[in-house]
């Protein structure tokens, strides 16, 4: 039986969380991680299909490892995640050396699928599956912060997005199971959890129950109230939000609950209403700006981040300019940007009004320049302020420094010893503010922030 494994993860936080779960399965089976892929007996690629370049990178890696497998037949090659779900058996026809192709919903069944492989089968596991409560224990990449899945899948049908097809329908976990996982993390010394969902604001709409007031019994807002008092957990984050479902009740809860970080990641994708309609996003520019205004009314200093796509089919220069205008009006702390990439089995990929690549690249560069300028301006408000930083690790570029994040999710570096400060909330005076990170000095000899 193989004894060493290596996982390569592409894509989003959900994929990173899935990789932690699969690493937990492998270690429970007796396998140990190795630092380099060529040292492993089991190679697992947890894939992303949002962008074509990630998919092409996967096939490049597989090509190299397929050659290696001809020299070492005992090597086990696994492709998991969204490309696996999208391609299924086609992936085996393209790279027949792959032993196991498995969709995201099979992450906690990796062990039984591997047993089939090691008994001589080539396995494709991509059929729709109801996700039973996951009893596997993830191998966490951090000892301070942890991902916690609260809802799997997505019921939206954005015309550019493959997620519903590869991650399946929405399935919410029971709140009791989520709280139990967070309590166990607290008992292990974790200080921060990030609640994850492809569309986290949709949490609970597939769970039964109606309140006396006539609303759903289980909503994401109710979940925040339910888990907020877990002893030992100092911070709660969540991602990713959808403007269609982002309510004032949720905003009010985030303002009221002290452990919930005042950072919101709410993708807007385009600043033009016609493009938003073509994307099937279900909201308007005006609705998005109303959400931002409401957040800042309750929490004036809240950090806002988002995602945006340029060059969507049919996008004109005037429509792109509306995206630039929205970015300038909101003043994002961070914005993840991408040029539109046609994806298989999505409506927009078949339209005949595709924007030329050179125009997409030009618009992406212009947007990125604006984003960097605004982020740098937003960072200046931190200069001279005291911020509370949860220390996570050592600065990889300077062993004399540690790093952590502020409540607003701003990466911050400070001098200190990781053995003393890891997992501690440290009051820091900010002395340097860059576009996407800060530096500072700890106050009162590394005094911990009070609760």
Is 254 one of the annotated binding-site residues?
no
Q: Which of 121-125, 147-151, 380-384 has the lowest mean pLDDT?
A: 121-125
Q: Which of 140-154, 240-254, 298-312, 417-431 has the lowest mean pLDDT?
A: 140-154
Is 48 one of the annotated binding-site residues?
yes
pLDDT surpasses 90 at 297: yes
Instruction: Return the ∠ at Cα 10 (arms to 8 and 13), rounded to 5°.
Output: 110
The model's pLDDT over 73-85, given as tens digits with 9 standing for 90+, comes to: 889 999 998 888 8
pLDDT surpasses 50 at 112: yes
Length of the chain: 451
pLDDT band for position 415 (cuts 50, 70, 90)? very high
Of 66 and 329, the one with more pLDDT: 329
Domains of the chain, CATH where assigned: 4-125 (3.40.50.12160), 145-381 (3.80.30.20), 385-442 (2.40.50.140)
Mean pLDDT of 31-39: 91
Closest CA to 50 of 11, 81, 87: 11
Q: Which residue in the block uniquely carries the two structure tokens 């408000």?
A: 381
In degrees to the nearest 10, what's the CA dihedral of 425, 426, 429, 435? Answer: -50
Number of Cα atoms under 13 Å in the Cβ half of residue 157 = 2
User: How much is the pLDDT for 427?
Assistant: 96
pLDDT surpasses 50 at 299: yes
pLDDT band for position 260 (cuts 50, 70, 90)? very high
pLDDT surpasses 80 at 323: yes
Of 134 and 116, the one with more pLDDT: 116
The model's pLDDT over 194-234, given as tens digits with 9 standing for 90+, comes to: 998 888 999 999 998 888 888 888 999 999 999 999 999 99
User: How much is the pLDDT for 396?
Assistant: 84
Number of Cα atoms under 13 Å in the Cβ half of residue 134 = 29
Mean pLDDT of 235-246: 94
Question: How far, rounded to the nearest angstrom, does the alpha carbon of residue 294 sit from its chain's CA centroid?
Answer: 24
pLDDT band for position 59 (cuts 50, 70, 90)? confident
Which residues neighbour 413 within 8 Å (Cβ) at sequence distance 6 or greater? 395, 398, 401, 402, 403, 437, 438, 439, 440
Prediction pTM value: 0.75
């Amino acid at each position: 039986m193989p004894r060493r494994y290596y996982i390569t993860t592409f894509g989003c936080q959900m994929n990173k969380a899935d990789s932690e779960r699969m690493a937990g399965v492998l270690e429970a089976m007796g396998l140990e991680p190795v630092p380099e892929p060529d040292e492993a007996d089991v190679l697992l690629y947890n894939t992303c299909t949002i962008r074509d370049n990630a998919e092409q990178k996967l096939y490049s890696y597989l090509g190299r490892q397929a050659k290696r497998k001809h020299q070492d037949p005992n090597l086990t090659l696994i492709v998991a995640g969204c490309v696996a779900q999208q391609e299924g058996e086609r992936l085996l026809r393209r790279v027949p050396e792959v032993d196991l192709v498995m969709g995201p919903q099979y992450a906690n069944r990796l062990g039984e699928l591997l047993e089939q492989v090691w008994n001589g089968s080539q396995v494709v596991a991509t059929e729709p599956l109801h996700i039973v409560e996951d009893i596997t224990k993830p191998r966490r990449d951090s000892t301070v912060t942890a991902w916690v899945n609260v809802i799997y899948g997505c019921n939206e049908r954005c015309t550019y997005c493959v997620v519903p097809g590869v991650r399946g329908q929405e399935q919410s976990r029971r709140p009791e199971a989520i709280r139990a996982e967070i309590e166990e993390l607290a008992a292990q010394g974790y200080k921060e959890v990030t609640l994850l969902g492809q569309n986290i604001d949709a949490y609970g709409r597939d769970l039964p129950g109606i309140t006396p007031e006539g609303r759903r019994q289980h909503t994401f807002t109710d979940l925040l109230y339910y888990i907020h008092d877990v002893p030992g957990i100092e911070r709660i984050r969540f991602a990713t939000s959808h403007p269609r479902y982002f309510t004032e009740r949720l905003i009010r809860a985030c303002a009221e609950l002290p452990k919930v970080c005042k950072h919101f990641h709410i993708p807007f994708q385009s600043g033009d209403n016609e493009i938003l309609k073509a994307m099937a996003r279900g909201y308007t520019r005006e609705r998005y700006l109303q959400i931002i205004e409401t957040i800042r009314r309750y929490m004036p200093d809240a950090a806002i981040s988002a995602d945006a796509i340029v060059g969507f089919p049919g996008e004109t220069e005037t429509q792109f300019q509306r995206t630039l205008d929205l970015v300038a009006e909101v003043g994002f702390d961070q914005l993840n940007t991408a040029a539109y990439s046609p994806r298989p089995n999505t409506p927009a990929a078949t339209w005949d009004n595709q924007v030329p690549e050179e125009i997409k690249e030009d618009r992406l560069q212009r947007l990125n320049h604006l984003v960097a300028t605004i982020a740098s301006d937003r960072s200046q408000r931190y200069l001279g302020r005291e911020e509370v930083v949860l220390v996570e690790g050592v600065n990889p570029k300077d062993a004399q420094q540690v790093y952590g994040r502020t409540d607003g999710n701003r990466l911050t570096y400070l001098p200190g010893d990781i053995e003393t400060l890891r997992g501690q909330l440290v009051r820091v005076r900010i002395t340097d503010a860059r576009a996407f990170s800060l530096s500072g000095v700890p106050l009162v000899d590394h005094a911990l922030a009070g609760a």
